[in-house]
């Protein structure tokens, strides 16, 4: 076997999982399903975490080669979920809607399990108690994930992390924003407390 063939075989054996997030601002909008499928296919996304689906209740359904695990609230607002390529159906261990802002999925990997927490944080203008309850729920969920699982927290944090030097260790030097807002600081604090960076 030559070196090129060996490298090709090695690359094929690697398990690459493309994970993305998108605040879709309403699944009930005309043409939204079609738009989502087009983007999933265009970028060959394996798992898409979606926020602000704006539908009621919880549903798991198949549509266009994808499994749609989505959960809304009691009204047609908020809601999160996951859209997963059907080829990964046998890898799904668990899917749960925690509330209208949080959902979680656990997937079998080649070497270890993967837990993904999908979040849609309250906006900057939301009262402090609501925001604190939200971040407390994230920490509780992550603390209950098996220690050997790979953990990913993904979604819309409604946060701005600035270019301040104090954030470099956790957020790096690159940012779209000059200043960190309160939600951004909450996110940095969450990452620092849990070594999630």
Q: Is 60 exceeded by the pLDDT of residue 23?
A: yes
Q: What is the CATH number of domain 16-158?
A: 3.60.10.10
Average pLDDT, the chain: 86
- pLDDT confidence of residue 14: 62
- The DSSP 8-state label assigned to residue 55 in this structure reads -
Segment 73-83, tens digit of pLDDT: 777 778 999 99
Q: Is 90 exceeded by the pLDDT of residue 21?
A: yes
What average pLDDT score do residues 34-38 get? 90
What average pLDDT score do residues 56-69 get? 83
The CB density around residue 134, as the number of other CB atoms within 10 Å, is 20
CA distance 168 to 154: 20
Better-predicted residue by pLDDT, 163 or 121: 121
Q: Is 60 exceeded by the pLDDT of residue 25?
A: yes
Segment 124-173, tens digit of pLDDT: 999 999 999 999 999 999 999 998 999 999 999 999 888 888 887 888 88
- In angstroms, the Cα distances linking 178 to 50, 101, 122, 159, 165 are 27, 27, 21, 12, 11
CA distance 82 to 27: 12
What average pLDDT score do residues 108-135 get? 94
What average pLDDT score do residues 97-106 get? 94
pTM of the model: 0.85
8 Å CB contact between 51 and 154: no
- In angstroms, the Cα distances linking 80 to 47, 69, 72, 174 are 13, 9, 6, 28
Domain ranges of the chain: 16-158
Alpha helix stretches (DSSP H) within the chain? 3-13, 32-43, 128-143, 168-171, 182-194
């Amino acid at each position: 076997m030559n070196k090129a063939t060996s490298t090709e075989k090695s690359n094929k054996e690697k398990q690459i999982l493309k994970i993305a997030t998108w605040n879709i601002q309403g699944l009930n909008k005309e043409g939204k399903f079609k738009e989502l499928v087009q983007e999933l296919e265009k970028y060959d996304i394996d798992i898409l975490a979606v926020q602000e689906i704006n539908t009621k209740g919880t549903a798991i359904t198949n549509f266009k080669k994808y499994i749609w695990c989505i959960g809304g609230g009691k009204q047609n607002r908020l809601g999160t979920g996951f859209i997963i390529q059907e080829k990964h159906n046998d890898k799904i261990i668990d899917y749960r809607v925690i509330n209208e802002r949080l959902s979680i999925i656990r997937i079998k990997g080649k070497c270890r399990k993967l837990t993904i927490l999908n979040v849609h944080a309250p906006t900057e203008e939301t009262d402090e108690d609501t925001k604190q309850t939200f971040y407390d729920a994230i920490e509780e969920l992550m603390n209950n994930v098996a220690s050997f699982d790979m953990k990913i927290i993904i979604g819309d944090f409604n946060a701005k992390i600035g270019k301040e030097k104090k954030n470099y260790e956790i957020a790096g030097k690159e940012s779209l924003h000059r200043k960190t807002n309160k939600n951004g600081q909450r996110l940095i604090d969450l990452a620092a407390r849990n070594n999630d960076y």
